[in-house]
Structure 1
Amino acid sequence: MSERHRYHLIDLVRFVAAFMVMVFHYTALGAADVMEGRKRLLAPMEVYPDLYPVTKYWFLGVELFFLISGFVILASALNRSALEFAISRGTRLYPTLWAAVLFTTAILFLFHGPYFNMSLVDFFANLTLLNDYARISDIDPVFWTLHMELQFYGCVFLLILCGVVQRVHWWLAAWMALTICYALFKQPFFMPWFLPPAYSAYFIAGCIFYLGGQQGYRLFHWFMLALCVLLSLYHVPAMVGQFIEVQHTADQWICMGIILSFYVFMFLISIGRLNIKTSSTIVLLGGLSYPLYLTHHMFGRYLIDLLAPVINAYLLLLGLTILALALAFIIYVAVDKRMAKSLRALLTKLLIRSEPEATAIANN
């Protein structure tokens, strides 16, 4: 996306979404099973009972992520070849993931000691993000969202490769039809192999918000957004059952309200009613969001288990937040800004012959 058309607020919103998920994990989870030989981890919801009634809804930062992803990825895909898109997305996704897998493995080894039993196959499978197809568990549960993202990237790559990505209305309509059929009839049964049925509405809506912002909203956009909202709300009871430990009658209604507010927020961004001027701080926060999301969970959870009995809970939460941000900053600077950028430039130079074009892609 060119600088003239860049939506700078998206960078800040991406960070807010990651921060929401981090606080949810630190304050609103239940007890967790760990490797054989260790006791169950403490339940953060019991360590922070005053925060839990509010932060238990902050798992919805993931849904906000998916809305942003649809918006940003469509913008990126429309003006790139399949190879350019693959290089851009792959070098954004994988180097930081590899750093996160290494860090999380070290944390598990540190805290589990002799009970640490992860195999090399599990480790290397996690580096590929294809481990779910081999029925190998994620090293860190938060990686589940990356499988959704990778499926989305893969489908967009194929659309570009087949030369039909510009026919956005057609393939979005087809994706919507598949999503509705799966929600109602669990067909086609193979849809989860290549697209996330329960979260497709958010990706589709993100794409529609980008199109509406660029082209002006027309009947097709409104109709698709209405279907996306209905599908998002349809899945709320299942999400509440999965993510909220202690549930109340109002939880589903509150989650629905939060999701609707996300839709309204993204609509206002798309039409330019909400915007901010870019700054180095906004760019930095946007850059921190991905490593923060990937690395905060396991080390924070184990430190809560270790330190909550002996340290003031709120000082601990503040310290964990600072540590998580510091770690995200280190990975952002060392991996994303250096290693990933160098890898992107190298792949672009090797695989794309046009030097001016290669320079532009490498810097994007």
Structure 2
Amino acid sequence: MSAPPAPDAGPISPAAATAPTPTPPHAPDLARERSAERTAKAAARGGGHPVRLRALDGLRLLAALMVAAYHYGGRDGEIAQAWGSSPRAQFPTLSSTFAYGCLGVQIFFVISGFVICMSGWGRPLRSFFASRVSRLYPAYWVAIILVTAVFALPWVTYKAVSPSDALVNLTMLQQPLGVDRVLGVCWTLWAELRFYALFALFVVLPGATRHRVVLFCAVWTLGSAFAEAANLPLLDVVLMPEYSSYFIGGMGIYLLHRFGHDALSWGIIGISFLIGQHYAIRELWHPANIDAFSYRSAVGIIGVVAFGYVAVTLIALGKLNWANWRWLTVAGALTYPFYLVHEHLGWVVVWVLHQKLGIPSYGTFALTVLVMLGLAWLLYRFVEQKLTPVIKRSLTTVRL
């Protein structure tokens, strides 16, 4: 709930023509890179027409639905209050499967590495900053207001955060500031913000090239390992070793998409997967315990993480271009607002449908997902489509 990851997953724009310049000393390497880039672009266009990676939109929605399945039926806590009993009692055969849905977040991060590398390529820093802010904040602000308002209703039993904390939540910096969160999923947005900052500083600001992205991936991987070994909180916050490998893997996959097969890109992807599955198991696996809500096998965790890497890679290589249905673009657009609102507002909807209206568990589950998708469409149609262009235009043209 790519949190869900923030999509600017459109086709790659053609490079602007430039006048001939004196040949620099590294011209052969640069010429090879530009030749590979032209070849990749031509293949991606498929005869001169840009290709929308609609399969990536579908994968984003799938990851969001995985997270929703986890929040509605794969964990205990507040959702048990909404159901009136443990979700394990509501879904005796599926709750153990739903428990793997939390790994949709890791898939979101891989997608984010791919998409941010794509959207940031060739953009000046101001344009990159404007695109990220205008994409993330409009739906987020409305989600914060909605959840705060609903939880303040007298018949809703869930506790709202204080007015001061709700205001801090509007900045998206509540987690590092130690403030109570309005949205449970916003911890993933804090990870995304740190990734954007690192990518902007070391790739967008100096100008994205294949060499620079490879170097960034290598240095971040080693830095994350050093941060883990040093056990210094500041390094953990900046380099986030538990999540960095997923973003790095996504960037490696984008290099495949843009430049074609090469050992360095495959090496980045392979190493990031090996590290990523380690952190996924470390965070989510525990020995089988009758008192624990759920048990995820190590093989199952590795399998879900591998699925995310393989799916994004197949999309990047054009193997899923046949999944070019227009509705997938809409599905991708709904993913982010759905991810923001589905958990906390879903508790209220489950409570109303199941306990007040007496709708059976599986019907309540399906209806709750549909209601949240409907709300996501409203946020997309009346918030994002109206505010995102205005904010982007304002930030792009502002004088610094």
Which of 209, 224, 227 aligns to 1:179? It is: 224
2:213 alignment counterpart: 168
Moved more, 322-331 or 40-49: 40-49
2:245 alignment counterpart: 201
> For 1:259, what is the secondary structure of its paired residue?
helix
Larger Rg: 2
Please tell me whether the aligned partners of residues 240 and 251 of structure 1 are also in contact (alpha carbons under 8 angstroms).
no
The 1:269–1:33 alpha-carbon spacing in structure 2 relative to 1, beyond 3 Å, is closer
1:330 alignment counterpart: 378
1:260 aligns with 2:306: yes
Alignment of 1:279-358 (within 5 A): 279-309=325-355, 310-351=358-399
The 1:114–1:51 alpha-carbon spacing in structure 2 relative to 1, beyond 3 Å, is closer
More helix by share: 1
Please tell me whether the aligned partners of residues 341 and 372 of structure 2 are also in contact (alpha carbons under 8 angstroms).
yes
| CA positional deviation for 1:311 | 2.5
The 1:111–1:304 alpha-carbon spacing in structure 2 relative to 1, beyond 3 Å, is farther
2:267 alignment counterpart: 223
Q: CA RMSD in A?
A: 2.6
| CA positional deviation for 1:149 | 0.6
Question: For residues 260-318 of structure 1, what are the alpha-carbon distances to aligned partners after superposition, in whole Å with 9 as ceiling and x for unaligned?
Answer: 12222222112111223645412111100000000011121233345434321122112
CA distance in 1, matches of 2:165, 2:89: 32
Which of 27, 48, 62 aligns to 2:73? It is: 27
How many pairs does the alignment contain? 346
1:213 alignment counterpart: 257
Please tell me whether the aligned partners of residues 76 and 86 of structure 2 are also in contact (alpha carbons under 8 angstroms).
yes
1:128 aligns with 2:128: no
Q: Which consecutive unaligned segments of at least 5 residues does structure 2 have? A: 1-11, 14-48
The 1:270–1:97 alpha-carbon spacing in structure 2 relative to 1, beyond 3 Å, is same
| CA positional deviation for 1:221 | 1.8
CA distance in 2, matches of 1:189, 1:33: 32
Please tell me whether the aligned partners of residues 107 and 298 of structure 1 are also in contact (alpha carbons under 8 angstroms).
no
Please tell me whether the aligned partners of residues 31 and 41 of structure 1 are also in contact (alpha carbons under 8 angstroms).
no
1:157 alignment counterpart: 200
| CA positional deviation for 1:33 | 9.4
Q: Which consecutive unaligned segments of at least 5 residues does structure 1 have? A: 353-364
The 1:326–1:33 alpha-carbon spacing in structure 2 relative to 1, beyond 3 Å, is closer
Question: For residues 3-57 of structure 1, what are the alpha-carbon distances to aligned partners after superposition, in whole Å with 9 as ceiling and x for unaligned?
Answer: 72542211111111111111221111213399xxx99974333322222122211
The 1:145–1:187 alpha-carbon spacing in structure 2 relative to 1, beyond 3 Å, is same
Amino acid at match of 1:159: F
Please tell me whether the aligned partners of residues 20 and 58 of structure 1 are also in contact (alpha carbons under 8 angstroms).
yes
The 1:212–1:304 alpha-carbon spacing in structure 2 relative to 1, beyond 3 Å, is same
Alignment of 1:54-93 (within 5 A): 54-93=97-136
CA distance in 2, matches of 1:258, 1:195: 24
2:27 alignment counterpart: none
Please tell me whether the aligned partners of residues 300 and 320 of structure 1 are also in contact (alpha carbons under 8 angstroms).
yes
| CA positional deviation for 1:108 | 1.4
TM-score (norm 2): 0.79
Moved more, 117-126 or 199-208: 117-126
TM-score (norm 1): 0.87
CA distance in 2, matches of 1:252, 1:288: 32
| CA positional deviation for 1:160 | 4.6
Moved more, 227-236 or 108-117: 108-117
CA distance in 2, matches of 1:4, 1:159: 28
CA distance in 2, matches of 1:108, 1:9: 36
Please tell me whether the aligned partners of residues 287 and 332 of structure 1 are also in contact (alpha carbons under 8 angstroms).
yes
The 1:44–1:89 alpha-carbon spacing in structure 2 relative to 1, beyond 3 Å, is same
Question: For residues 161-190 of structure 1, what are the alpha-carbon distances to aligned partners after superposition, in whole Å with 9 as ceiling and x for unaligned?
Answer: 64154311111110010122234x144542
Alignment of 1:225-264 (within 5 A): 225-241=269-285, 246-248=293-295, 251-264=297-310
